[in-house]
Structure 1
C-alpha cells in the first residue's frame, strides 16, 4: 500500500513540475519556478563569471600615477573583433548565461514580463558587453531594460550603467545631463549614489570641466563602501587640486589615503606619500625631519616593490638641494629597481643626461639620452624632443672633441723640447705601468684557473687509475679533458687572447733563458740577433717610448696651420650651437670670446662678433654689446651685419640681402634650369657667408646644379665633399644618406632594352652657341603636338650640358611610335590648291625610352647611346 502511495505522489510531483515549466501560463507556481531557476542557477553562475572577468581586467590594467587616473579601472583597447568574437572568455560566459536566462525563463505574456529576474538578466548582459568593450550592444541591453521594465528595482543602476556606456561612446554632454537629472529626481543612497557621482565626475573630466569633477568625487568617496574605490576617488581629487595649485587641499586628500593604510592597495598608499612630499614647503618644515621621513620610506620592508619611485623622489630632493653627487647615486639606484615603469626609466635617464650636459660631459650625456629614447614610445612628441636634443648633441661632441684635441696639440707644441720630453716620458711610463698591471692581473687570473682546475684534474686521475685497475673503459671526460674544463690552456679563446697580449707587450721571443732581455727579441721573419750579447735593458713597446709621441707631433707649418684652422672653426660652431640650439648663452659667450682672443682667420671674426653682440644683449651686458656694435659698424661698414645693426628692420623683414632671400632666388633659378647661373651664384654666396649655418644649404644646391649640368661624377664628388666638410649639419647627414642609398642606384649606366619600357620620347638637339631660335621651334612643335588627341603628349626644354639644349616630346608608347611620330612631322601638308599648309620639321631626331633618357641626362653619355642604336 505504501508503494502505491509513493508512486502516486511521484506521478503528482512530476505532473506539477511539468505544469510549472510552462512559460505561457501566468500562475504562481510557474512564476516562482522560473524566477528561482533564473536567480539561483543561471544568473548566479553568470555573475560569478562576470566578477572573474572584472578581476582579470583589473589585473591587466596598470595604474599610471604620473598622469590623472581614470575614475574607472579599465583600459579601452582599439582591437577589432569580428561578430561573435570576444576579448574575454569570462565575459562571454556571463553573456551566454544572461541570454539563456532570457530565452529559457522569460515569461512574456500579453506584452508583460512575469519573471521578475529577467531585468537582472539584461543588466548582466549589458555589464558583460560593457567590460568586453562592446559598447553599442551593451547600450542596447540597458535600453531594453529601460523600455520594458521601467518599474524594476534595478532601474537606477541601469541608468547609471547606460550613461557610463554613453561616455565610452563619446557622448559626455548627454551623459552629464541625464546623470544630473537622475540625481535631482531620485533619492539615491550609498553605492548607487557613489557610482552615479563617480560617473558624473569622469564625464566632467572628459569635457575638461575639472573643477566640477572635484565636488562629485568628494560625494563618491564619502558614500562608496569599497575601500579601493574610496582611495581612488581621493587620489584623483588630490591630483585635480594639484593641477589647480591648491597643495594644502591636495595634501588633505593624500592624508585620507594614508590613513587607510593596509585597507587599500599599497600602490595608492606609497604614491600618496610621494605626492604629498612633493607638495611640502621647505621654508616651513625641518629638512632633517623630512630626510628622516624619506629614509623611513626607503627602509620599510613593505615598500620594497616601490623603491624605484622612492629612490627617484629622494634623488629629486637632493638635486633640488644642490647635492648632485648624492642625487646621481639615487637616480642610478632607481634605475636598478625599475621593473616595468618605462616613464620613470625615461625620467631617470633624461635627468642624468641633463646633469652631465650641465657639467659639459657631452659624450656621457649623449649616452644617457640614447637610453632615454629606448624607454619612450617611438616617434611620440617627447621622443622627438629628446631625439632632436641628442642630434644637436652630436655636433657638440664632435666639435668639442676637435677643440680639446687641437688645443692639447697646440699647447704641447708651444712648450720647449725638454718639457715636451718630460711630459711624454711621464705618459709613456704611466702606459708601461698600466700594461704591467694588466699582465699581472692576467697572470693572477691564470693562477686562479689552474688552482681551481687542480682538484678536478686530481679527481679525474684517480678515476682513471681505478678504471685501469678494474680493466674498465675510461669515460669520455677523462680522454677529452677539454670538455667542461676551466683549465686555461683548454680554452682556445683565452689562449689566443694571452698570446696576442704577450706579443704586444714582449714581441716575438725564443724559448730560452733570459727571454726578457732586449737581445732575445726577434721579428717574425728575422731572428739573427747574436746569442752572446747580454744587455740589461728591458724591451720597450712603442707605447712606452716617449720618442713615439714626440715624433707624432706635426712639424710642418702647413700642418700646424690646419690644426689651428680646425680648432678655430670648432670654437665658432660651438658658440653658435650653444647660442641657437641650447640657449646656453654663457657657454656661447665663453667660446666666442676665446675664439676672438686666438686671432682667427678673417672669415670667422665678423660672424663671431655679431653672434657675441647678440649674446651680450640677451645676457643684459649692454656696455659690452654697445662696444661690439661700434666695432662691427666701424670695422666692417660695408658688411650686411653693419647694415642690420644700423637698420634692424631690414633683418626683420628679410630684405633682399638676407641669406634666406638670396637662397630662395637661387633655388628659383635652379627650378628654371639656369644651372650655370646657380653654380656661379652659390659659389659667391658660399664665400660671402662662410662660417654661417646657411652655407651647407648653398653647397647642396650647388651640388645639385653641377649634377644636372655636368653629370653623375660631378654630383658624386660634390656630395662626398659635403658629407666630409659638413658632417654634423642637417645637410651633411642628408649627403651621407644620399651616398649610402641614392648614389649606388644613380651610378647604373647600363641602358635598358626598349621592350622593357612603356614610355618613350623624341629628342631634338640644339647647340647653344649657334644662335638658333629654340623658342620658335618649340612653338611649332607644340602646335603639331596639340593635333594629336589619342596620346597625352607634352613638350619640354631640357638642359643637357653647358653647350647643348634638348627639346623633348614626352608621352609616346613605343620606340616605333616615337620614330613614326617624328617621321610624320617631316612630311608636308598641302591644301587643294597645292599650297603648303604645314611645313616640314626636318631637324634630326633621336627616339629614346624614358629610362634611357634619364640615364643619358644623368651620365651625359648620349654618344654611347647613339653607338648602340
Structure 2
C-alpha cells in the first residue's frame, strides 16, 4: 500500500513539473518555476562568467599614472570583429546565458513579460556586449529594457549603462544631458549614484569640462562601496587639481588614498605618495625630513615592485638639488629595475642624455638618446622631437671630436720637448700599469677556474646528499634540459667567463702560434713551423709591448711639418664654425655657440670664416642680452666689411636682405628657374660666383648641389659624379652632404650604366633632330613648324621639346611614338611631298636629318654624352 502511494505521489510531481515547465501558460506555478530557474541557474552562471571576464579585463589593463586616468578601467581595442565573433570567451558565455534566459524562460502574454527576471537577462546581455566592446549591440540590449520594461527595478542601472555605452560611441553631449536629467529627476543613492556620477565625470572629461568633472568625482568617491573605485576617483581628482595648479587640494585627494593604505591596490598607494612628493615645497628645515621620507619609501619591502618609479623620484630630487652624480646613480638604478613602463624608461634615458649633453659629453648623450627612442612609440610627436635632436647630435659629435682631437694635437706640439716627454712618459707608465693589472686579473681568474672542480669534488665527498641531489634530475626533466636551462652567469663553465677565455687565447698563441682551423692541427710536420711562429710571435709581442710603453713612440707620432699643422688648425677652425652654427640654429644653446665662435676668432681662422662668424656671434650676443658686445661687433663688421651683405643687413635691418634680390634665397630661386629653363652654362657661372661670395654661409651647399646638377646636364655623368663626391666629402654633416651621400650609395650604381638596351625591350620612342648652337639656324622657327606637322597626327599622342645636349649641341625631340619602326616611319612621313586642295605638289616643310631612339637609350646618351657610340651601333 505504501509503495502504491509513493507511485501516485511521484506521478503527481511529474505531472506538476511538466505543467510548470510550460512557458505557454500564465499560471502562478509556471511563473514562479521559470523565475527561479532563470535567477538561480541561467543568470547565476551568466553573472559568474561576466565577473570572470571583467576580472580578465582589469588584469589586462595597465594603469598609466603618467596621464590622466580613465574613470573606468578598460582598454578599448581598435580590432574589428566579424558578426558572431567575440574577444573574450567569458563574455561570450555570459551572452549565451542571457540569450538562453530570454528565449527559453521568457513568458510574454499580451505584450507583457510575466517572468520578472527577463529584464535582468537583458541587462546581463548588454553588459556582456559592452565589456566585449560591441557597443552597438549593447545599446540595443539596454534600449530593449527601457522600451519593454519601464517599471523594472533595474531601470536606473540600465539608464546609466546606456549612457556609458553612448559615450563609447562618442556621443558625450547626449550622455551628459541624459545623466544630468537622471540625477535630477530620480532619487538615486548608494552605488547607483556613484556609478552615474562617475559616468558623468568621464563625459565631462571627454568634452574638456574638467572643472565640472571634479564635483561629480567627489560624489562618486563618497558614495561608492568599492574601495578600488574610491581610490581611482580620488586619484583622478588629484590629477585634475594638479592640472589647475591647486597643489594643496591635490594633496588632500592623495592623502585620502594614503589613509586607505592596504584597502586599495598598492599601485594607487605608491603613486599617491609620489604625486604628493612632487607637490611638496621644500624649505631648508624640511629638506632632511623629505630625504628620510623618500628613503623610507625606497627601503619598504612592500614597495619593491615600484622601485623603478621611486628611484626616479629620488633621482629627480637630487637633480633639482644640483647633485648630478647622485641623481645619475638613481636614474641608472631605475633603469636596472625590470619594468614594463616604457615611458619611465624613456624619461630616464632622455634625462641622462640631457645631463651628458649639458656636460658636453656628446657621444654618451647620443647613446642615451638612441636608447630613449627604443622606449618610445614610433612616429609620435615626442619621438620625432628626440629623433631630430639625435640626428642633430651626430653633427655635434663629429665636429666636437675633430675640435677636441686637433686642439689636443696643436696644444701638445706647442709645448717644449721636455714637457712633451714628461706627459707621454706618464701616459706610457699608466698604460703599463693598466696592462699589468689586466694580466693579474686574468691569471687570478684562471686560478679560480682551475680550483673550482677540486672544490666541487670536496663538497660532494663531504656531503653525499648534496652530490646525489645534484646527480639526479627532477621528475619529468631530462638531463639535457636541465643542462641547457642552467644560468650562464652562475656557471663555472670555462667559456662562459670572458676573462679566462681571453687569457686562454693568449696562452694558446704563445704555445702553438697562429694555427689554421683544420684537422690534425697538432700534426708533427707542422711542429717546426709552429716553433718558428711561436718564437716570432714572442718577439712581435715584446716589440709591440715595448712600443706601447715607450714614450718616444708617441713623440714620434706628433706632426712636425708646418703644412700638416696648418691643415690640422684649418680643420679645427672649420669644426668650431660648424659647432657655433649648430648650437645657435638647432639647439638654441647660445652660451655654447658663443664659446665656439669666440674660440674660432681667437685662433686666427682663414678669411672666409671670419665675417660669417662675427655676424653669427653678433646675433648670439643679442640673444644673450650682451648689448655692449653686440654693438661693438656690429661696428666692427660695418667698418671692416662695408661692402658685405652682412653690413647691409646691419645698416638696414628692416629689409634684412632675406626678402630682396641680393639675399641667398632670392638668388638661389632665380638660379633654379634658370636651371629648369636649361640655361646650364649661366647657372654654373653664377653658382660659382655665389659660392665665393658666400664662403662660410650655410647656403653654400645648396649652390654646390645646383652647380653639380647643371654640370651633369651639360657635361655628363662623370662631371655630376665629381660634383656630388665633392659635396659629400666637403659638407658631410650638412643636409646637402647627407643627400649627396645617399645619391652616391643608391643612385650612382644605376646612373653609371652605359649599356644600351634592345629596342624590343622599350615601350616609348623618340625622333631627334640635331642642331649646332653656333650654326645660326632658327631653332624656334623649326619647332613651330614641327608642332604644326605633329598636330596633324591624330592617332598618336605626340609632343615636342627642346633639350640641351652639350655646350655645342641642342636637340629638338618628338616624344610619344610606340616603336622604333614607327618613329622612323613618322620622320620619313614628314619628309614626303604632299598635294594641296588643288592637286598641286607641295614640298615638305621638314627635311632635316634625324635619328630614332628609345626613351631609355635617349636618357643614357643625355647622361653620358655618348651619342656617337649610339649612332655607330645603328
TM-score between the two structures when normalised by the length of structure 1? 0.91
**Equivalent residues of 1:827, 1:840 under 8 A apart:** no
Give the equivalent residue in structure 2 for 1:816.
821
**How far did 1:459 drift?**
13
Which structure 2 residue ranges, 5 or more long, are not aligned?
A: 461-491, 514-530
Q: Closer, same or farther in 2 for the Cα pair 1:22/1:450, shift >3 Å?
A: closer
Q: Spell out the pairing of 1:444-593 with structure 2 (5 A cutoff).
A: 444-452=444-452, 486=494, 495-498=504-507, 541-593=546-598
- SS of structure 1 residue aligned to 2:656: helix
Give the equivalent residue in structure 2 for 1:77.
77
Give the equivalent residue in structure 1 for 2:279.
279
**How far did 1:867 drift?**
2.5
Residue 605 (str. 1) matches residue 610 (str. 2): yes
Alpha-carbon separation, structure 2, partners of 1:681 and 1:423: 52
**How far did 1:639 drift?**
0.2
Alpha-carbon separation, structure 1, partners of 2:658 and 2:569: 37
Alpha-carbon separation, structure 2, partners of 1:319 and 1:867: 76
Alpha-carbon separation, structure 2, partners of 1:558 and 1:729: 27
Q: Closer, same or farther in 2 for the Cα pair 1:525/1:836, shift >3 Å?
A: farther
Alpha-carbon separation, structure 1, partners of 2:648 and 2:560: 43
Give the equivalent residue in structure 2 for 1:825.
830
Deviations 1:239-290 (A, max 9, x none): 0000000111101100111111100000000000000010011148611111
633-642 or 739-748, which deviates more: 739-748
- SS of structure 1 residue aligned to 2:816: strand
Residue 626 (str. 1) matches residue 594 (str. 2): no
**Equivalent residues of 2:353, 2:365 under 8 A apart:** yes
**How far did 1:643 drift?**
0.2
Alpha-carbon separation, structure 2, partners of 1:25 and 1:730: 85
**How far did 1:663 drift?**
1.4
Which structure 1 residue ranges, 5 or more long, are not aligned?
A: 461-483, 505-521, 532-536
**How far did 1:24 drift?**
2.0
**Equivalent residues of 1:453, 1:485 under 8 A apart:** no
Give the alignment partner of residue 649 of structure 1, picking from 654, 674, 681: 654
- SS of structure 2 residue aligned to 1:810: strand
Give the alignment partner of residue 690 of structure 2, picking from 681, 685, 694: 685
Give the alignment partner of residue 621 of structure 2, picking from 616, 619, 626: 616
Deviations 1:183-238 (A, max 9, x none): 11111111111111111110110011111111111111111111000000010011
Q: Spell out the pairing of 1:159-308 with structure 2 (5 A cutoff).
A: 159-283=159-283, 286-308=286-308
TM-score between the two structures when normalised by the length of structure 2? 0.90
**How far did 1:147 drift?**
1.1
Q: Closer, same or farther in 2 for the Cα pair 1:846/1:285, shift >3 Å?
A: farther
Alpha-carbon separation, structure 2, partners of 1:109 and 1:774: 97
Alpha-carbon separation, structure 1, partners of 2:59 and 2:71: 16
Give the equivalent residue in structure 1 for 2:794.
789
**How far did 1:413 drift?**
1.7
Alpha-carbon separation, structure 2, partners of 1:757 and 1:93: 64
**How far did 1:148 drift?**
1.1
Give the equivalent residue in structure 2 for 1:739.
744
- SS of structure 2 residue aligned to 1:541: helix
- SS of structure 2 residue aligned to 1:848: strand
Give the equivalent residue in structure 2 for 1:754.
759
Alpha-carbon separation, structure 1, partners of 2:794 and 2:112: 75
Give the equivalent residue in structure 2 for 1:465.
none
- SS of structure 1 residue aligned to 2:68: coil
- SS of structure 2 residue aligned to 1:440: helix
**How far did 1:810 drift?**
1.6
539-548 or 734-743, which deviates more: 539-548
Give the equivalent residue in structure 1 for 2:668.
663
Alpha-carbon separation, structure 2, partners of 1:441 and 1:338: 31
Residue 49 (str. 1) matches residue 49 (str. 2): yes
Q: Closer, same or farther in 2 for the Cα pair 1:172/1:455, shift >3 Å?
A: closer
Deviations 1:336-387 (A, max 9, x none): 1141100000001111111111111111111111111111111211111111
Residue 417 (str. 1) matches residue 417 (str. 2): yes
- SS of structure 1 residue aligned to 2:655: helix
Give the equivalent residue in structure 1 for 2:154.
154
**How far did 1:543 drift?**
2.0
**How far did 1:540 drift?**
5.2
- SS of structure 1 residue aligned to 2:829: helix
- SS of structure 2 residue aligned to 1:648: coil
- SS of structure 1 residue aligned to 2:813: strand
Give the equivalent residue in structure 2 for 1:427.
427
Deviations 1:82-114 (A, max 9, x none): 111111000111111111111111112222211
**How far did 1:548 drift?**
2.4
Alpha-carbon separation, structure 2, partners of 1:374 and 1:799: 50
- SS of structure 2 residue aligned to 1:286: helix
Give the equivalent residue in structure 2 for 1:843.
848
Number of matched pairs: 822
Alpha-carbon separation, structure 1, partners of 2:252 and 2:868: 87
629-638 or 573-582, which deviates more: 573-582
Q: Closer, same or farther in 2 for the Cα pair 1:270/1:459, shift >3 Å?
A: closer
- SS of structure 1 residue aligned to 2:771: strand
**How far did 1:563 drift?**
0.8
**Equivalent residues of 2:308, 2:333 under 8 A apart:** yes
Give the equivalent residue in structure 2 for 1:474.
none
Q: Closer, same or farther in 2 for the Cα pair 1:149/1:270, shift >3 Å?
A: same
Q: Closer, same or farther in 2 for the Cα pair 1:703/1:345, shift >3 Å?
A: same
Q: Closer, same or farther in 2 for the Cα pair 1:649/1:838, shift >3 Å?
A: farther
400-409 or 649-658, which deviates more: 649-658
- SS of structure 1 residue aligned to 2:412: helix
- SS of structure 2 residue aligned to 1:762: strand
Q: Closer, same or farther in 2 for the Cα pair 1:540/1:375, shift >3 Å?
A: closer
Give the equivalent residue in structure 2 for 1:344.
344
Alpha-carbon separation, structure 2, partners of 1:88 and 1:554: 74
**How far did 1:863 drift?**
2.1
Q: Closer, same or farther in 2 for the Cα pair 1:773/1:145, shift >3 Å?
A: same
**Equivalent residues of 1:362, 1:393 under 8 A apart:** yes
**How far did 1:717 drift?**
2.0
- The Cα RMSD (Å) is 2.6
Give the equivalent residue in structure 2 for 1:771.
776
**Equivalent residues of 2:649, 2:657 under 8 A apart:** no
Alpha-carbon separation, structure 2, partners of 1:734 and 1:400: 22
**Equivalent residues of 1:338, 1:345 under 8 A apart:** no
Alpha-carbon separation, structure 1, partners of 2:160 and 2:39: 22
Deviations 1:23-77 (A, max 9, x none): 2221111111111111111111111101100000000000000000000000111
Alpha-carbon separation, structure 2, partners of 1:299 and 1:432: 44
**Equivalent residues of 2:49, 2:94 under 8 A apart:** yes
Give the equivalent residue in structure 2 for 1:518.
none
**How far did 1:453 drift?**
5.5
- SS of structure 1 residue aligned to 2:47: helix
**Equivalent residues of 1:453, 1:486 under 8 A apart:** no
**How far did 1:655 drift?**
1.5
